[in-house]
A and B are shown apart, each in its own frame.
Chain A
Amino acid sequence: MATKDFRKINIDQYDEDVLLEEDLYDHDPRDPATVLAETKQKAAAVRGLIAKGDIAGALSSVLENAPYGPKVDDAKILNLQTILLLLNSTKTADIPSTIKALSSDAQDTLMKYLYKAMAMPGYADVNSSALLTWHEKLTDAAGIGCITRVMTDRRTV
């Protein structure tokens, strides 16, 4: 039987004009430290907004300028935790109106977080049942197009 080793060769290293994943999206102009600081700031502000009952406002602020790209893993995890906190503290009946209050870009970002969280079962605050409810309501509002955008967008959160 012929050797299969050739299948494991990284042929891209022989291509001087290789297209890398990071060439395919616009990078976050902020540096990682700033992103982390901003995310921490938002996480703190969100607790205040939850106390006031302004879930939609809190969600909008966290979804805006969400950290993406390489080297911001801490900020990504922190933002995910903040969002999970918000998702889990929203009453089921309030979900549709909360989603409606979001901008369409924020809806797309929220869908990214839903899929990210669903890919991490058992992680801290991940509550699959709540995530599925959010997913259903978000799809009602933003359509399947919202899901395709999560799949194509390389600015992963």
Chain B
Amino acid sequence: MKRIVSISSEEDDSHAPPATIHFADNTSLTIPFVVYSPYTEVPEATLELLSDPSLSAIKESLNNPNPMTSVPMGEITATGLFQKANVDGVYACGNASLFMSTVVMAMNQGQMAGAGADHEIAIEDYAAGIAAATATYRLLILCNNFRKMSSPEAYTIAQVPLVAHSFSPDRSAIALSTNTNEAQIYARQGYDWQPVSTLAGHDKLVTSIDWAPTTDRIVTCGQDRNAYVWTKEADPSSPSQLIWKPTLVVLKINRAATQVRWSPLENKFAVASGARSICVCSFDEEMNWWASKQLKKPIRSTVLCVDWHPNNVLLAAGSADAKARVFSTFLKEVDKKPPANVWGDKFPWNTVCGEYSSHAGGWVHSVGFSPSGDAMAFTSHDSTITIVYPSGPAVITIKGTTLPYVTLTWTAEDALIAAGHDCQPVLFSGTASGWKAIGSLDDANGPRSSSLPSSVSSPRTAGAVGGGGGPPVGRLNNAAFNRFKDADSRGQSSIPGTPSSPGGGLFGGSATPGGVTGGELMTLHQNTITSIRPYEWGPNGNVTKVSTTGVDGKLVIWSVSAAAGLAPKIFVR
């Protein structure tokens, strides 16, 4: 315990982080962020530096709060700016001699906001008061863990394109396809990721990876027309060590496998392939391998993407014949008869429950069911996103003003995030009556350029009137465009070296334009985002964080609420 004399900030009186705490014994401590509150019961000021700087530790400490320091969450939900969904917890409050009762909240891990009983007291007022007051205070300090709420966590994993990624159930490790025939597992070590194991088995490029959240098994598929299921087993040579052991999958396809996804119950997985088919695989105990059954009709071209309906039977698939379809994958050996839903009432094997064309003939890059499974969205190479409500029936097309999106994930029943060649994830929101772009997750820090799609969508049949309403967003002035313009007008080229990759990379060349000055994109990702996946869920089941990997070799974890307009600007005076 140390007595606190004052708290100061480098930025004059703004109390923006980092802040310096000055103690009575003439020592000081600079911290990236502080939360403090009047704490009238303790005679001495206390400084608590939590050894575990995670939110859970703080929440733990709040589970036994001083009666005077707790305020029910309900009281702060009405403020509008601080909606309950955005608030992780009430950290402290109280009535110091000089203040009114005040609440400090943490917004989505890291970002702090102050709100008084009158919902007006800002965190700056707090600090000023503390500096002047003689009352004692309790401090909760968030170290290391500090990020501005809207700031994404970015890691450069490798100088090669990342084709696919999937996190371990506890998010401490990530399986990556680093554009080679071997999948890599990286483990989080501090603020960094280090390779810990290699999944070697494929002869050609690993195209997709999926890590089952419950059974902790990894499935990979590759251009060598194979898939493997990897399970953790004791190493025969040193039993204390765990190694990943592959189990054979009998696919029987004559073209590359393009994407693989576990079903929700993790007793099946689907492999999309260039053989105009989808392999639905289940485990054959007798043979000790994964056997497959193929969905072929009426697919006319390479299947590029699959996604499971929560009922474990329906499967959405998008293909290069510019169609997204919903199939039944009912296997009587493994599945129970699913109840009727918006897609139909009977689901024998290979029933086509829906077939939808992309708006302007673009091949379908990515499909996804909404969390309930009652809607499906797909992105296609014609820069559009199509959302299908079979119960409507309504088919809504969002016409993008940017380059095509190649990957998408739903974050809530009425929201999804898409990313792709535009190098930034964009949040879209809407219902069966219409969808629109909310904003880029990569837009939080102002100066970054962004070319948001603004075209307002409406059901396709209505003859959408879009593009005219918003600002002139489609200008040829986005970062990617400027890069090529520089190459043209100033001779700044970014022709990277081409490290060879066994099996031939999906994306030629190195990930970043090494040594190129002025060629940097204004977005965090410096090249196409290849994969976006949910990373963290909030208490209401909505996705609060998503992870992306890209051709630039970067892994980025984004806060969904960072989309422009959703993030309250706390430190802007």
Contacts and interface: CB of A to CB of B under 8 A. Distances in A.
Given A104-B466, A145-B403, 4 more contacts: A26-B357, A142-B467, A145-B400, A152-B382
Nearest to A26: B357
Interface stretch (B35-43, B151-159, B411-419, B470-478): B470-478
B119 to A, nearest CB: 40
A28 interface: no
Contacts of B466: 103-104
A23 interface: yes
A139 interface: yes
Nearest to B362: A152
A1 interface: no
18 contacts: A19-B301, A23-B300, A26-B357, A100-B468, A104-B399, A104-B455, A104-B467, A139-B474, A140-B475, A141-B474, A144-B403, A145-B403, A149-B382, A149-B399, A152-B362, A152-B381, A154-B361, A155-B360
Nearest to B466: A104
Contact of A139 (B363, B463, B475): B475
Contacts of B481: 144
Contacts of A142: 401, 455, 467, 474
Nearest to A99: B468
Interface in B390-404: 399-404
Nearest to A147: B383
Contacts of A104: 399, 455, 464-467
Contacts of B124: none
A154 B381 CA distance: 13
A132 to B, nearest CB: 12
Contacts of B301: 19
A25 B401 CA distance: 22
Contacts of A23: 300, 321
B463 A145 contact: no
A48 to B, nearest CB: 24
Nearest to A102: B468
Nearest to A142: B467
Contacts of A143: 383, 400-402, 451, 453, 455, 467, 473-474
Contact of A146 (B363, B451, B463, B474): B474
Contacts of A105: 463-464
Main secondary structure of the interface of A (DSSP, over half): helix
Contacts of B361: 24-25, 152-155
Contacts of A41: none
A145 B453 CA distance: 9
Interface residues of A, number: 28
Nearest to B455: A104
A145 B472 contact: no
Given A24-B321, A104-B455, A143-B402, A148 B476 contact: no
B471 to A, nearest CB: 10
A19 B453 contact: no
Contact of A140 (B276, B362, B472): B472
A117 to B, nearest CB: 19
Given A25-B361, A143-B474, A19 B465 contact: no
Contacts of A19: 300-301, 321
A107 interface: yes
Interface string A65-87: 00000000000000000000000
A25 B321 CA distance: 9
B322 A24 contact: yes
A83 B324 CA distance: 34
A139 B403 CA distance: 12
B348 to A, nearest CB: 23
Contact of B383 (A24, A139, A141, A148): A148
Contacts of B400: 143, 145
Nearest to B380: A152
Q: Which of A23, A101, A104, A146 has the most CB of B within 10 A?
A: A104
B359 interface: yes
The 3 closest A-B pairs by CB, nearest first: A143-B401, A143-B474, A145-B383
Interface string B394-438: 000001111110000000000000000000000000000000000
B384 interface: yes
Contacts of A103: 463-466
A148 B463 contact: no
A117 B481 CA distance: 24
A144 B382 contact: no
B398 to A, nearest CB: 10
Contact of A148 (B321, B362, B468, B475): B362
Contacts of A100: 468
Contacts of B401: 142-146
A29 to B, nearest CB: 15
A19 B276 CA distance: 11
A107 B360 CA distance: 13
Q: Which of B363, B467, B472, B476 has the most CB of A within 10 A?
A: B467
Contacts of B464: 103-105
Interface string B476-490: 101001000000000
Contact of A149 (B300, B362, B453, B475): B362
Contacts of A149: 359-360, 362, 382-384, 399
